[in-house]
Amino acid sequence: MRKMIAASVLALLPIGALAADAPPEWAYPAMPQGYVPPAEPEVAQRVTGSQKTYTPKEIGNQFAPPDWFPNQHPAQPAIVARGKAPEVNACSQCHLSSGSGHPESANIAGLPAAYIFEQLQEFKNGNRTSMLPGRSNNMVRFAKNMTDEEMKQAADYFSAIKPIVWNKVIETDTVGKSFVGEGNMRFISAGNDKEPIGKRIIEVPEDEHGAKKRDPHSPFVAYVPRGSIEAGSTLAKTGGNGKTIQCGVCHGPDFKGLGNVPPLAGRSPIYLYRQLNDIQHGTRKGNAIALMQPVVQKLTSDDMIALAAYMGSLTP
The length of the chain, given as a count of residues: 316
- Cβ 252 vs Cβ 87: under 8 Å: no
Separation of CA 135 from chain center: 13
Q: The domain containing residue 121 runs over which residues?
A: 2-28+42-165+226-313
Q: What is the pLDDT of residue 40?
A: 86
**Residue 186 is assigned to a structural domain of this protein:** no
**Residue 295 is assigned to a structural domain of this protein:** yes
Q: Which of 95, 102, 96 is nearest to 119 (CA)?
A: 95
**Cα torsion through 303, 304, 309, 312, rounded to 10:** 140
Q: What is the pLDDT of residue 22?
A: 86
Q: What is the pLDDT of residue 4?
A: 39
**Residue 208 is assigned to a structural domain of this protein:** no
CB contact set of 20 (below 8 Å; sequence gap of 6+)? none
Total domains, the chain: 1
pLDDT, tens digit only, all 316 positions of the chain: 443 343 333 333 444 444 457 899 999 999 999 888 888 889 999 999 999 999 999 999 999 999 999 999 999 999 999 999 999 999 999 999 999 999 999 999 999 999 999 999 999 999 999 999 888 999 999 999 999 999 999 999 999 999 999 999 999 999 999 999 999 999 999 998 999 999 999 999 999 999 999 999 999 999 999 999 999 999 999 999 999 999 999 999 999 999 999 999 999 999 999 999 999 999 999 888 999 999 999 999 999 999 999 999 999 9
Query: CATH code at 247?
Result: 1.10.760.10
